[in-house]
Amino acid sequence: MPNFICLVCLKEFILFKIIQMKTLLLYIFFLVPQILIAQRSVTLTLKDASTMLPLPYANVNVAGKRMIADGSGKLSLPVQHQIALVISATGYRTDTITIDDTKANAVITLHAIDKMLDEVVVTGNMREMSKLESPVPVEVFTPKYFQKNPTACLFDAVGMINGVRPQLNCNICNTGDIHINGMEGPYTMVLIDGMPIVSALSSVYGLSGIPNSIVERVEVVKGPASSLYGSEAMGGIINVVTKNAQKAPLVSVDAFGTTWQEYNLDAGVKMKLKKAQSLLGINYYNYQHPVDNNGDGFTDVTQQNRISIFNKWNIQRKENRLASFAARYVYEDRWGGQMNWSPKWRGTDSIYGESIYTNRIELTGMYQLPVKEKIMLQLSYNKHDQDSRYGNKSYIATQKVSFAQLYWDKQLNTKHQLLLGASYRYTWYDDNTPATASPDSLHPGNMPAKTPLPGVFVQDEWSITTKHRLLFGYRYDYDKNHGNIHSPRIAYRYSPNAMSALRASIGTGFRVVNLFTEDHAALTGSRQVVIAEELKPERSYAANLNYTQVVHAGATRIEFDVSAFYTYFTNKITGDYNTDPDKIIYANLHGHAVSRGASVNTNIAFPFPLKLLIGATYMDVFQVNENNGVMEKSRQLFAPKWSGNFVIGYALPAQFMIDFTGQWNGSMRLPLQPHDYRPEYSPWFCLANIQVTKKINKKFELYGGVKNIFNFVPKDVLMRPFDPFDKHVNDPVNNPNGYTFDTEYNYAPLQGIKGFMGCRFILD
């Protein structure tokens, strides 16, 4: 009986195992193929989009997990239906793609980053980003570019930029401003490290003496940017980005002299103190050799004695948070006038001279708050004291500008980058002109102008795809005299590949005007300033289109940058020089003004050591004004229809480099007096220079050359230089046309050909 039971149990056990085996086989037969299908492996091959060569060790991010391709650029991945991959490699644009399990192999191409297109910029949207990715076109220039034609100040250096023109407003004291796309200097905002340091009163002198040793790069944005930067940013922005003290060389020196006995020294020194590093920069310029080559009895070039001292500190903080502060002091003594002038004649009506003493202090600071979010605090303060004499007229002014800005830079998600901020700008201005005189005759005296300007701004940068990027910006400011001011803008970028990009933008701008701090014509000569009405703030509406393309023709690399611009002004304030030769009449334009045109820059690098940069700009800048019911169109003064620049560099054997540079300008309309015998339009002219550089070693180089090699000098720039105080204008025999002394007929420097020689030393 027990044996029978055992046999029965054994039989049941065997049947049970057979059932288990059948079940297992069924599982294998039906489910394993599904598993194999669900976990199908896909082999990726990563290649360069241009050369189709493999990209070894590229990064592939899958759902937050990082994987690395092998030495041949291959990587096998288990794929279930669809997955999103983030592909990146050093020197290439990051791309996001989606793959599925329908194919066993997939070839993925990445586009190489062009270094010239991928420079880091901050001016377009107030945060660091790739130049290629920026929806706002930003032009970047390094000190090496400006060294191809060395100058003593940034004011002269920016003339090497296509569409940017330093305009001398006086043939005697050589003051000036910077025009962008034909628009006058007050429409150009100059920033230092993103803060409005140089503006209003200091726009004439503030660009002088910025030491080249402290400049990392200069960024230029053409077109209105008031939605981020507020008043004065109507025509464009020049942002001087200073070096980070931690990355600056230990010592740098650049010194040169000219055959006109001009001497310039630019030096920088880096120092380190525990968790702080400091950069000290000094610029000294001296020219004390009066010259009168054109024989009009006046100095051709202003005599100058200028020193500028700059000190910047970068603080090392936890989690690499930013902290820096800087200070700059500028002192300048400049004069121009009759050759026998001396300081004892300052302010008298015996011998004519224009003498300006300038003292200027600037303080800036940037601090990233110690919180999880990226919140930046920017602070700046500047005080500008100016003591001027224009013949027997005096202009004594002080301007103080305080600025504070707090903004939050927030990555909302993979698509949206938010910038939210608030700013407060307070301007205190006083002078000895009627502009700040008390209207109360019982209590005469000065009434300084106090202008608070609070504002808020918001910007959303939307990365629709890797090819499409859209930027929305809006700024609101409140001015106590003009009320609410709204400044919106929209910018769009389409980049089909790493070699090309199309950008389009529309926006508005505004400017609150102070004539006596911006228009040098209001201070010089014998004209009386007349303000015909209460001036309203200017407004502008602008559209810009920009296209960049890089072409590789064999080993030759060609970069094209083409732009078209259109700006429409309302309430534009202009000076009327023609109605009355004894007056400058200021009023809001009873009509409109337009600045439109196009520009092209071409940068060519050949396989042999030749590089070309050629730019040209066409501008049509005019205004339409109502005169007795008739709309009259007139061309803007000092705005050439055609202008351009060129830089040609060739490397020679034995570490020699030759650079041929220049700026050319077409005909421009000039201010005339009634029955003026001088031409109304200037001739075409070119200011060309040549330089040879010899690199001795990695630390030291010598350079020298010739400026204005064609020796171009304008003619008849001063009206009646023999009677600068207009003591004999009422002489019908010798002055039948009633001409008066005038310094405004100017379109080019009076300095002819000159040689120069210098040296540079850098110790890292």
What whole-number percentage of the chain has pLDDT above 70?
Answer: 83
The more confident residue out of 348 and 630 is 348
pLDDT-based confidence at residue 123 (cuts at 50, 70, 90): low
Given this model, what pLDDT does residue 570 score? 84
pLDDT-based confidence at residue 604 (cuts at 50, 70, 90): very high
Q: List pLDDT tens digits, range 176-213.
A: 778 888 777 777 788 888 877 765 555 555 566 677 77
What's the mean pLDDT in 107-125? 65
Bridge partners, residue 762, by sequence: 252
What whole-number percentage of the chain has pLDDT above 90?
Answer: 34
Given this model, what pLDDT does residue 284 score? 94
Q: In what order do the strands lie in the sheet with 573-576?
A: 528-531, 583-588, 573-576
pLDDT-based confidence at residue 242 (cuts at 50, 70, 90): confident
Distance CA 367, CA 370 (A): 9
Given this model, what pLDDT does residue 124 score? 65
Task: State both tokens at 760.
Answer: 């540079």
Task: Examine the pLDDT at 571 and tell me if it is beyond 50.
Answer: yes
Which residues of the chain form CATH 2.60.40.1120?
2-110
Q: Please tell us whether the domain made up of 238-763 is placed in CATH 2.40.170.20.
A: yes
**In 3D, which of 302, 759, 740 has the Cα closest to residue 527?**
740
Distance CA 37, CA 604 (A): 53
Task: Examine the pLDDT at 85 and tell me if it is beyond 60.
Answer: yes
Q: pLDDT averaged over the chain?
A: 82
What's the mean pLDDT in 424-453? 78
Q: Where are the strands (E) in 288-322, listed by range?
A: 303-315
Residue written as tokens 């464009």?
Answer: 236
Q: Please tell us whether the domain made up of 2-110 is placed in CATH 3.40.50.1980.
A: no
pLDDT-based confidence at residue 399 (cuts at 50, 70, 90): confident
Given this model, what pLDDT does residue 231 score? 64
pLDDT-wise least confident of 80-94, 239-253, 742-756: 80-94
Which residues of the chain form CATH 2.40.170.20?
238-763
Task: Examine the pLDDT at 1 and tell me if it is beyond 80.
Answer: no
Task: Examine the pLDDT at 24 and tell me if it is beyond 60.
Answer: no
Task: Examine the pLDDT at 18 and tell me if it is beyond 70.
Answer: no
Given this model, what pLDDT does residue 711 score? 95
Q: List pLDDT tens digits, range 658-709.
A: 999 999 999 999 988 888 999 999 999 999 999 999 999 889 999 999 999 9
Vertex 447, ends 446 and 451: CA angle to 5°? 145
Given this model, what pLDDT does residue 39 score? 52
Given this model, what pLDDT does residue 30 score? 46
Task: Examine the pLDDT at 273 and tell me if it is beyond 90.
Answer: no
**In 3D, which of 411, 326, 393 has the Cα closest to residue 353?**
393
What's the mean pLDDT in 612-633? 88
DSSP, res 244: P
Given this model, what pLDDT does residue 246 score? 79
pLDDT-based confidence at residue 466 (cuts at 50, 70, 90): confident
Q: What is the full DSSP assignment across 491-537?
A: EEEEEEETTEEEEEEEEEEEE---HHHH-GGGTSTTPEEEE-SPPPP
What's the mean pLDDT in 433-444? 67
pLDDT-wise least confident of 207-221, 527-541, 684-698: 527-541
